[in-house]
């Protein structure tokens, strides 16, 4: 069984990606990064999802980006944008963008893949229904894959690492339907950037808006995003 590293944040997209990797026959080793994010509850959701979906292993590593600031997700002095119109989401790079986050995460995945002898790294990046982050674009992922082939022993020995983003060109509704098909417990997933301490979603940030749109497009109710902001995000 081929091995793969799967970046698992605890959100809808990464959980679906983990389920896809397992369905496609990979021995999937999940990697979650606790990077000082204000929505750190997602780390516990990732732990639950890795167990529920049958990951071969799950590592949680700490790389605190909060001393750098520059993003509402790691600097509590910066408010998370809320109530933006659907048309505005993806039209610019919002303050929830964490500088170089995916580069850091993929570098950690690359290191783990070398140790495990894995030749594939999966992540839940999406370039359709997303917030316009530059490190979710296809050209970025291709460039990182090229870097990986030059920066690793495996690469120079003729075993280049593949960066797989199976949800990259899927709409949110399609992702929701796929998650259900794969048996992902969507009540465990957390998409909100600014949940309450008990995990209730704010229902107003970009991530909540995109999630709500996805469930509406799929014609399904969200088991993790109950009315009046109660329940799990």
pLDDT in tens, 112-136: 999 999 999 999 998 876 667 888 8
Given a contact cutoff of 8 angstroms between Cβ atoms, the answer to whether 166 and 182 are in contact is: no
**Bridge partner list, 4:** 28, 120
Q: What is the mean pLDDT of residues 14-25?
A: 98
Single pTM value for the model: 0.93
Q: Which residues pair with 122 in a beta bridge?
A: 6, 164
pLDDT beyond 50 at 233: no
Q: Which tokens sit at 8?
A: 């698992």
49-53, 182-186, 196-200, 228-232: range with lowest mean pLDDT: 228-232
Per cent of the chain over pLDDT 90 is 79
Report how far residue 123's alpha carbon sits from residue 87's, in angstroms, rounded to the nearest whole number.
26
Task: Residue 12: give its domain's CATH number.
Answer: 3.40.50.620
* Structure confidence at residue 110 (pLDDT): 95
Structural domain total, the chain: 1
Q: What are phi and psi of 11, to 5 degrees?
A: -95, 180
Q: Are 144 and 163 in contact (CB under 8 A)?
A: yes
Task: Mention every residue, 6+ apart, whose C-beta is less than 8 A from residue 158.
Answer: none
Cα separation of 161 and 147, whole Å?
Answer: 10
Distances, alpha carbon 57 to alpha carbons 10, 18, 182, 196, in Å: 15, 12, 19, 29
Q: What is the pLDDT of residue 33?
A: 98
Backbone angles phi, psi at 6, to 5 degrees: -125, 120
Please, is 226 exposed, middle or buried when counting C-beta atoms within 10 Å of its C-beta (0-12, 13-18, 19+)? middle
CA distance 202 to 211: 12
Spatial CB neighbours of 202, under 8 Å, sequence gap ≥ 6: 80, 82, 192, 193, 194, 195, 196, 208, 229
pLDDT category at 85 given cuts 50, 70, 90 is confident
User: What local confidence, expressed as pLDDT, does residue 92 receive?
Assistant: 81
- Alpha-carbon torsion, ordered 208, 41, 184, 110, to 10 deg: 100
Q: Could you tell me which residue, 33 or 154, shows the higher pLDDT?
A: 33
pLDDT of residue 168 exceeding 90: yes
45: how many CB neighbours lie within 10 A of its CB?
26
pLDDT in tens, 186-199: 999 999 999 998 88
- Greater confidence (87 vs 126) lies with 126
pLDDT, averaged across the chain: 91
Using one digit for the tens of pLDDT, what is the confidence trace for 213-230?
Answer: 999 999 999 998 654 333
pLDDT above 70 as % of the chain:
94
Q: Which domain, by its residues, includes 217?
A: 3-229
Q: Are the C-beta atoms of 215 and 36 separated by less than 8 Å?
A: no
pLDDT of residue 131: 65
């Amino acid at each position: 069984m081929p091995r793969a590293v799967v970046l698992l944040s605890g959100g809808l997209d990464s959980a679906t990606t983990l389920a896809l990797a397992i369905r496609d026959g990979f021995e999937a080793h999940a990697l979650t990064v606790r990077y000082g994010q204000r929505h750190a509850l997602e780390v516990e959701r990732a732990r639950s999802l890795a167990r529920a979906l049958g990951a071969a292993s799950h590592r949680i590593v700490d790389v605190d980006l909060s001393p750098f600031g520059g993003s509402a997700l790691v600097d509590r002095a910066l408010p998370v944008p809320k109530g933006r119109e659907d048309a505005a989401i993806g039209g610019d790079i919002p303050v929830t963008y964490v500088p170089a986050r995916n580069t850091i995460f993929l570098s950690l995945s690359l290191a783990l893949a070398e140790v495990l002898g894995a030749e594939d790294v999966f992540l839940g990046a999406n370039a359709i229904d997303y917030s316009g982050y530059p490190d979710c674009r296809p050209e970025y992922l291709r460039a990182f894959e090229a870097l990986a082939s030059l920066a690793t022993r495996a690469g120079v020995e003729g075993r280049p690492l593949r960066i797989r983003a199976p949800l990259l060109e899927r709409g949110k509704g399609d992702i929701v339907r796929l998650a259900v098909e794969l048996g992902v417990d969507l009540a465990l997933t957390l998409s909100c950037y600014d949940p309450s301490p008990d995990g209730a979603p704010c229902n107003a940030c970009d991530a909540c808006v995109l999630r709500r749109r996805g469930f509406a497009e799929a014609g399904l109710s969200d088991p993790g995003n109950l009315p009046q902001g109660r329940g799990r995000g």
